[in-house]
């Protein structure tokens, strides 16, 4: 789904060891240790301090190495992407940043991180990709050497999203396609933990597609995250009809492989145009020419054409729009397939008239570099 010609950098672990539980009182039956909480499991996978049943494991050299690498990667991510994106949203489109509407993120894979950065208050997040949901077992029950291998695979699978801003699907599948900690679920756990949320419940679902439902809390109101494994090609699918029943929402498209530039993904393209109060995307999402009359498309940063396999998706009309401002202000962060901050580009598309948002009204600021259709 999302590809790029980049190399991943991996770190190697040593073998893990487990601390033993205290022996029960002589003559008393051994009590089964309570499994770790969902939140502690997520924090453990994220390389963050844990308490309870998992607390002894934080002294293990394997986990400490994992925690060090994750902390360093997250620190870089915070400086280069997390803080700049949040600041940009508040400065440019605060009404959407504060909205509590449903959030749609098609072609996302397990990228809850960016969905939350742009729309942190959404009451429901709906993510969709081709990657399987997978599994997060009770890590207390895993043999030491096996746990070390699982942590290494998890870190490798997240390397590109933490170093750049997208997953390399084939590498993520290779790293999380085997072992005990598998699929998209552990990555969702890591993002939820690193963003400071408490995981309340995790439920596997079968309708409208194989997926998982996670309820979590971080503010005044609980929020819900869905991830579905589903093929978005074709027309109006059962999955898209299920989404439409949730009402118009906030949409994000990033590193979407230019799939909606052709007719093979017309169903999801039409769904987004019919059910979005805003679409924030890079140039790999919906092409500028496909936005209907009545939409306003504001462009930010620089439009830098792609080479190699994506060169054929050059958009002359988008280039002409950017050419109206000969000295465009830099976006301030990388976005989409361009990993250099100076080449970051972002489009904010809204239908007119705007439908009311589920948030307190915020005065709209005039935008530069807009095309009205």
DSSP letter at 119 equals -
pLDDT digits (tens, 9 = 90+) for 169-219: 665 565 565 678 889 999 999 999 999 999 999 999 999 999 999 999 997
Both tokens of 77, joined, read 């991510």
Residues with Cβ within 8 Å of residue 17, at least 6 apart in sequence: 60, 61, 62, 144
State the pTM of this model: 0.85
Tell the burial category of 319 from Cβ atoms under 10 Å away from its Cβ (0-12, 13-18, 19+): middle
pLDDT digits (tens, 9 = 90+) for 262-296: 999 999 999 999 999 999 999 999 999 999 999 99
Sign of the CA dihedral 145, 150, 156, 159? Answer: negative
Question: In degrees rounded to 5, what are phi and psi of residue 304?
Answer: -110, 115
Q: What is the rounded CA–CA span in Å between residue 286 and residue 280?
A: 10
Q: What is the rounded CA–CA span in Å between residue 225 and residue 297?
A: 28
pLDDT digits (tens, 9 = 90+) for 212-249: 999 999 978 899 999 999 999 998 899 999 999 999 99
- CA triple 119-125-130, angle to 5 deg: 120
Query: How much is the pLDDT for 250?
Result: 98
């Amino acid at each position: 789904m999302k590809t790029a010609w980049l190399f991943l950098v991996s770190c190697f672990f040593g073998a893990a060891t487990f601390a033993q539980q205290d022996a029960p009182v002589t003559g008393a039956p051994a009590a089964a240790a309570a499994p770790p909480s969902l939140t502690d499991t997520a924090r453990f996978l994220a390389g963050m301090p844990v308490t309870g049943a998992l607390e002894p494991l934080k002294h293990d050299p394997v986990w400490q190495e994992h925690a060090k690498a994750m902390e360093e990667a997250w620190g870089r991510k915070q400086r280069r992407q997390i803080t700049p994106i949040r600041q940009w949203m508040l400065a440019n489109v605060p009404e959407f940043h504060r909205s509590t509407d449903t959030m749609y993120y098609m072609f996302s894979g397990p990228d809850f991180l960016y969905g939350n950065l742009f729309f942190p208050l959404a009451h429901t997040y709906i993510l969709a990709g081709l990657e399987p949901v997978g599994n997060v077992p009770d890590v207390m029950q895993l043999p030491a050497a096996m746990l070390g291998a699982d942590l290494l695979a998890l870190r490798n699978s997240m390397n590109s999203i933490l170093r750049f801003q997208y997953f390399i699907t084939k590498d993520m599948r290779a790293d999380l396609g085997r072992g005990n900690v598998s699929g998209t679920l552990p990555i969702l756990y890591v993002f939820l933990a690193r963003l400071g949320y408490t995981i309340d419940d995790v439920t596997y679902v079968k309708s409208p597609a194989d997926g998982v439902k996670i309820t979590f809390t971080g503010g005044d109101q609980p929020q819900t995250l869905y991830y579905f494994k589903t093929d978005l090609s074709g027309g109006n699918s059962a999955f898209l009809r299920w989404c439409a029943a949730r009402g118009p929402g906030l949409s994000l498209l990033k590193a979407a492989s230019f799939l909606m530039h052709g007719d093979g993904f017309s169903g999801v393209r039409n769904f987004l145009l019919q059910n979005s109060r805003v679409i924030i995307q890079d140039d790999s999402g919906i092409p500028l020419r496909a936005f209907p009359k009545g939409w306003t498309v504001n462009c930010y940063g620089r439009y830098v054409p792609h080479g190699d396999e994506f060169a054929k998706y050059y958009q002359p009309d988008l280039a002409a729009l950017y050419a109206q401002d000969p000295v465009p202000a830099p976006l301030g962060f990388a976005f989409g397939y361009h990993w250099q901050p100076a080449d970051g580009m972002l489009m904010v598309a809204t239908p007119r008239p705007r439908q009311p948002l589920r948030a307190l009204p915020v005065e709209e600021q005039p935008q530069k570099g807009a095309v009205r259709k």
